[in-house]
Amino acid sequence: MAAKPSPAQPAKSTSGLAQALQPYVTGGSAAITASCVIHPIDLTKVRLQLVGESLAAGATRPSAVAVVSKIVAEEGFAGLYSGLSAAVMRQAVYGTARLGLHREFSNYLKKQRGGEATLPVHLSVAASMSSGAIASLIGNPFDVSLVRMQADTMRPKAERRGYTSVFNALGRIVKDEGIARLWRGCLPNVLRAMAMNVGMMASYDQAKGFFNKTVGPGVTANLLSAGAAGFMCAFLSLPFDLIKTRLQSMRIDPATGKMPYTGVLDCAAQVARKEGPLAFWTGFGAFYGRSAPHAMIILLTMEQFNTMYSSVFNTTTR
C-alpha cells in the first residue's frame, strides 16, 4: 500500500506593509533598549567632554569615576538618567532610521549583485555611511535636546536652562533661538554618525567573518565581534562626537557677548590649541564602555526582535 502523501504546507502569507516596516521596527526597538541600558555611561561621557571647557590651564581632568561620584552625590542616582526622555526620542527617530535604512540599502545592493549573501567591504561601508548620514540629519533636533539636558546640571542654578522634558526643550529652543538652532552641530553629527555606523555595522560584519573562522560560530564570536566593532566605532567617531557636543551645548559668553565657537573648524582648532590633540579622545574609556555594550545590545537584541516580529506578523527576516 502506497504511503499517504503528507499534506502540502500552506504558503507563508506576508503583509507587504509589515514586511517593509520590519527593519525599522526591530532596529528602533533594539536602539531604544540599548540607549536605556547605557544612558548613565553616555551621560558621563558628555560631562567629561564638557568639563575641559572650564578647566584652568594645567588642571587635571577628572576621571569617569569621579564624574559619576559627583553626579550621585549632588543629584542622586536619578541624576544618572538625566535627559533619558530625549535619549529615547532620539533613538526612536535616529536609531530607527539608521538601522532600518542600513538594512534597506544593504538588501538593495545585494539584490543588484544577484542576491549574494555578503557585500564587499566598500559597499558595506557605503551603505553604513549613507544610512548614518540620513538618520543623523533627521535626528539632530533630539540630539541637541539630549546634550543640553545632560549638560544643564553642570551649570550654576542661575544659568541652567531648566528643560522639563524633550518636548519642552524642543519648543523652547524654537521659540527662543529659532528652528535652525535644532540643527546646530549638524555637520560633526553627520560625520560622527557616518563613522559610527561604519564602525558598528561594517566592522561587525568583517569581524564576525574573522572570529567565525578562528573561534567558531556562536555566542563567543558574536561577543568578540561586537567588542571589536565597538572599539572601531568609538575610535573613529569620538573626535566628531566631542565637537558636536561642544557646539550643541554652547551659549553666549556673558563677558564677551559672543559664542565660544564660530563653527566646526574653529571648535576643532581651539580644542587642539588649548587642550592638545589627545583632547579629541577625551572620555575614550567611557565612550568605549558605551559603544561596546551598545553595539552588543543592539546587534543581539535585534535578532530577538526580528524573531518575535516574524512570528507575530508572519514575515521573513531579510
Kindly report, residue by residue over 125-144, the tens digit of the pLDDT: 999 999 999 999 999 999 89
Residue 79 resides in a domain: yes
Number of domains in the chain: 1
55 — pLDDT class (breaks 50, 70, 90): low
CB 160 within 8 A of CB 218: no
Residue 112 resides in a domain: yes
Residue 163 resides in a domain: yes
Position 308 pLDDT exceeds 70: yes
Q: What phi and psi values does residue 8 have, to the nearest 5 degrees?
A: -65, 140
Q: What angle do CA 251, 80, 283 make, to 5 degrees?
A: 65
Position 11 pLDDT exceeds 50: no
Residue 3 resides in a domain: no
Q: What angle do CA 197, 84, 161 make, to 5 degrees?
A: 110
Residue 95 resides in a domain: yes
Could you give the C-alpha distances from 311 to 122, 167, 306, in angstroms and in order? 34, 35, 8
The distance from CA 80 to its chain's CA centroid, rounded to whole angstroms, is: 18
287 Cβ partners below 8 Å, 6+ apart? Answer: 45, 234, 238, 241
Position 255 pLDDT exceeds 60: yes
Residue 242 resides in a domain: yes
CATH number of the domain to which 194 belongs: 1.50.40.10
Residue 13 resides in a domain: no
Highest mean pLDDT among 8-22, 121-135, 226-240: 121-135
Domain of residue 252 covers 19-54+61-307
Per-residue pLDDT of 195-223, as tens digits, reads 888 888 778 877 888 898 899 888 888 88
All three cell numbers of 297: 545590545
All three cell numbers of 11: 504558503
Average pLDDT of the residues of the chain: 85
Packing angle, helices 264-275 and 219-249, rounded to 10: 100
As a whole number of angstroms, the distance between CA 219 and CA 265 comes to: 43
All three cell numbers of 257: 557677548
Residue 46 resides in a domain: yes
